Structure 1
Amino acid sequence: MVFSPVSTSDPSAYLAADPIIEVDHPAVRSFGDELRFGSEGQVDFARRAFEWVRDEVAHSFDARDPRVTLRASQVLEQRVGLCYAKSHLLAALLRGQGIPTALCYQRLLHGDGHVLHGLVAVYLEGAWHRQDARGNRADIAAEFCLDAERLAFPVDPSLGEIDYPELHLTPARVVIDALLTVTDILAVYDHGLPTALNSGSDPLPH
């Protein structure tokens, strides 16, 4: 199945900052500059940033780390987060270096129910390309790729799974609400995370 993204915005709109995607946070901006040093163009930098977030920011569940991170600067400082948080940091790093980056979501089978999964799409070489920096392990092998998607999880509609086609400027409200109300991410990992995407992304309070 070919992913067909849906957006009503010009790609340049996906360079914007918000209270979660902290494009202009000094630490985020500085680290983006550091990653960019010596890179050979936008694609090379995007790959560097993707691989750093994928490999150097631990996935909360894999690491059994209960800390809750949400904002890009928190993820950068604590080096841990769920898929949503890792996507927030990756989006901030890429947007800060001039690469339009959207937030994307999938609905995946999880235990006896479903869970919402977060990833990003980058606008490079005239098209949108989804990338999943969730973090690899023995059963996951996501890679940065512009030719064909190499995501963490395949989607099976027969299991009630969904590839949501929308490209989000800001994090989905359901994700923000879920992460703002918990103090131990492991306590809600199996029962308590969003199970589906609502109407979309709402403006965030400053």
Structure 2
Amino acid sequence: MELTQQSPGIDAYLAVGEAIDHEHPRVREVVTRLALDADTAYAYARAAFEFVRDTIPHSADSGDPRVTWRASEVLAARTGICHAKSIALVALLRARSIPAGLCYQRLADDDGTNPMVHGLVALRLPGSGRWKRVDPRGNKPGIDAQFSLEGERLAWVTREEFNEVDYPVVYDVPPEVILRALRGARDRSELWRNLPGNL
């Protein structure tokens, strides 16, 4: 699948924003730690991905009711759903001048009901003219997402027979419909009710 940028300029995918607050001291602290053992952009991107995937539990897996949505908040609380974890990874990448954005899938139950928008990350390493998707959601039995820029190793492969979709757009900021749900939820159960079923 060919990914397309929502914003034409690459600078949009390095910018600081309300959710992607990569100038925040908490984000900078994590960036500094990760960069110690990463001497290339690839090594850093992989380390950032694995940090978000493995050390910030997906709140549905851990049972944490808290809702986070700013990158600094996700890193401080060490919890979040896929959208929050994706925002955190985008911030960690942008902080090291690696263009990164948000992309999405529409997933559904095994009978095609209960559609849900799932958040992913797209990045472009220096020298690469193409966006590559990674999924920092967090692994568990049945899910094995990996940092792979050759062939995608996402948490889920979309199933057309269940009306699942890979959205091709790379967003520089979270879509308002996602942000509104994250900002407005008092807890994860309320967030589940308000997340969109499609973009």
TM-score where L is the length of structure 1:
0.90
The CA deviation string for residues 41-85 of structure 1, in whole angstroms up to 9 with x for no partner, is 000000000000000001010001100101001100000000000
Is the CA contact (8 Å cut-off) linking 2:105 and 2:119 kept in structure 1?
yes
User: Counterpart in 1 of 2:197?
Assistant: 195
1:20 maps to 2:23: no
Amino acid at match of 2:25: P
In structure 2, what is the Cα distance between the partners aligned to 1:58 and 1:38? 23
The CA deviation string for residues 65-108 of structure 1, in whole angstroms up to 9 with x for no partner, is 10010100110000000000000100001000010001001100
User: Counterpart in 1 of 2:77?
Assistant: 78
In structure 2, what is the Cα distance between the partners aligned to 1:163 and 1:186? 25
The CA deviation string for residues 95-142 of structure 1, in whole angstroms up to 9 with x for no partner, is 000100010011000473200000100101412110000000001000
In structure 2, what is the Cα distance between the partners aligned to 1:82 and 1:181? 14
Is the CA contact (8 Å cut-off) linking 2:122 and 2:134 kept in structure 1?
yes
Amino acid at match of 2:122: A
Is the CA contact (8 Å cut-off) linking 1:64 and 1:186 kept in structure 2?
no
User: Counterpart in 2 of 1:203?
Assistant: none
The 3-state SS of whatever aligns with 1:34 is helix
Is the CA contact (8 Å cut-off) linking 1:65 and 1:186 kept in structure 2?
no
The 3-state SS of whatever aligns with 1:81 is coil
Stretches of structure 1 that go unaligned for 5 or more consecutive residues are 198-206
The correspondence for 1:164, drawn from 164, 167, 170, is: 167
Is the CA contact (8 Å cut-off) linking 2:27 and 2:91 kept in structure 1?
yes
Aligned pairs, how many?
194
Deviation beyond 3 Å, 4+ runs, structure 1:
none
Is the CA contact (8 Å cut-off) linking 2:14 and 2:98 kept in structure 1?
yes
Is the CA contact (8 Å cut-off) linking 1:35 and 1:48 kept in structure 2?
yes
Is the CA contact (8 Å cut-off) linking 1:59 and 1:134 kept in structure 2?
yes
In structure 1, what is the Cα distance between the partners aligned to 2:10 and 2:191? 35
Is the CA contact (8 Å cut-off) linking 2:182 and 2:191 kept in structure 1?
no
User: Counterpart in 2 of 1:178?
Assistant: 181
The 3-state SS of whatever aligns with 1:80 is coil
Amino acid at match of 1:26: P
Identity, in percent, stands at 42
Is the CA contact (8 Å cut-off) linking 1:106 and 1:117 kept in structure 2?
yes
In structure 1, what is the Cα distance between the partners aligned to 2:184 and 2:162? 29
Is the CA contact (8 Å cut-off) linking 1:101 and 1:123 kept in structure 2?
yes
User: Counterpart in 2 of 1:200?
Assistant: none
For the aligned residues, what is the CA RMSD?
1.3
In structure 2, what is the Cα distance between the partners aligned to 1:143 and 1:36? 20
User: Counterpart in 2 of 1:144?
Assistant: 147
In structure 1, what is the Cα distance between the partners aligned to 2:64 and 2:196? 19
* Aligned residue runs from structure 1 range 36-55, under 5 A: 36-55=35-54
The 3-state SS of whatever aligns with 2:37 is coil
The verdict on how the C-alpha distance between 1:79 and 1:158 changes in structure 2, with shifts beyond 3 A counting, is same
Kindly state the Cα deviation for residue 192 of structure 1 after the two structures are TM-superposed: 2.8
